[in-house]
């Protein structure tokens, strides 16, 4: 997959792409990422990227020309490529959306800043808008990193020998069960007996039950969507009553 990111703050992308899973995926040529500075696509002496809003009001608005020209300089003539604006007004990002995006060979991400982006960028340039949640960031850069990290983990070969991305809790629809490692007793706090028993069927049942309890307590809305067996549904109902 090839990913282009348009931003006014290219340095923000230095560390995530030179670390861990990303670095390995780039080295293995499973993914390539190009960061483009929107300011490089201006033509005036002062490299102006923003201007006052028509109609007045506080703050500045990103001008359309540099963003259009940046996209046009990198976009292939043919094929439909997602051109995604990261914005608080976009559709709420999810594992499902990441899976959709992972099926494309290319992605173009545009990071907004300041008070907003000229509306013609939305109307005539982008074909998708994504928000990562209902909280206020200073711009789309961190959101773009969240989207790229989530998508890249889903690409074949990126996770290597680690667990399949299909085992992730947000894919299975339940939160994860509690994990423990040595020592068996730490400051007097013991690891649950069952995990030391060596009885794999019992361990598996316990973990599953814990996952359901935890999901019911913390994220009950996930249970409505989860793919549960009849037996699991019965356990949920029993727990709900107690």
Active site residue 91: no
Q: Which of 10, 53, 82, 88 is catalytic?
A: 88
Structure tokens at 193: 């007996």
Residues 78-117 interacting with ligand 9D3 (rule: CB under 6 A): 86-88, 112, 115-116
The closest alpha carbon to 140, from 88, 92, 94, 96, belongs to: 88
Among 79, 136, 200, 218, binds ligand 9D3 (CB under 6 A): 136
| Helix-strand-coil split of the chain, %, nearest 5 | 45, 15, 40
CB 139, min distance to ligand 9D3, A? 5
Task: Please give the Cα distance from 80 to 229 (Å, whole number).
Answer: 39
Among 135, 164, 221, 237, binds ligand 9D3 (CB under 6 A): 135
Q: Which of 40, 72, 115, 193 is catalytic?
A: 115
**Hunting for tokens 């201006």 — which residue is that?**
42
CB 148, min distance to ligand 9D3, A? 13
Residues 16-55 interacting with ligand 9D3 (rule: CB under 6 A): none
Task: Give the orientation angle of helix 95-102 with respect to helix 141-152, to 10 degrees.
Answer: 70
Query: Is 2 in contact with 31 (CB distance < 8 Å)?
Result: yes
Q: Does 150 bind ligand 9D3 (CB under 6 A)?
A: no
Task: Please give the Cα distance from 60 to 3 (Å, whole number).
Answer: 28
Applying CB under 6 A, the residues found at the interface with ligand 9D3 are 86-88, 112, 115-116, 131-133, 135-140, 143
Q: Which residues are catalytic?
A: 88, 115, 153, 168
């Amino acid at each position: 997959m090839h990913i282009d990111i348009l931003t006014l703050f290219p340095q923000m992308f230095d560390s995530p792409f030179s670390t861990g899973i990303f670095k390995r995926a780039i080295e293995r040529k499973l993914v390539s990422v190009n960061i483009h500075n929107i300011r490089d696509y201006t033509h005036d002496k002062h490299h102006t990227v923003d201007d006052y809003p028509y109609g007045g009001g506080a703050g500045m608005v990103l001008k359309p020309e540099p963003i259009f020209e940046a996209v046009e300089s990198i976009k292939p003539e043919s094929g439909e490529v997602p051109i995604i604006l990261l914005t608080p007004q976009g559709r709420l990002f999810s594992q499902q959306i990441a899976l959709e995006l992972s099926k494309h060979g290319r992605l173009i991400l545009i990071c907004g800043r300041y008070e907003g982006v000229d509306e013609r960028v939305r109307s005539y340039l982008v074909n998708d808008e994504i928000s990562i949640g209902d909280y206020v960031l200073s711009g789309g850069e961190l959101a773009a990193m969240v989207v790229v990290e989530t998508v890249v983990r889903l690409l074949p070969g990126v996770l290597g020998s680690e667990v399949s991305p299909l085992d992730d809790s947000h894919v299975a629809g339940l939160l994860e069960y509690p994990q423990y490692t040595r020592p068996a007793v730490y400051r007097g706090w013991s690891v649950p007996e069952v995990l030391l028993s060596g009885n794999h069927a019992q361990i598996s049942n316990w973990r599953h039950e814990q996952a359901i309890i935890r999901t019911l307590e913390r994220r009950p809305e996930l249970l409505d969507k989860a793919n549960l067996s009849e037996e699991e549904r019965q356990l949920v109902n029993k727990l709900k009553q107690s």
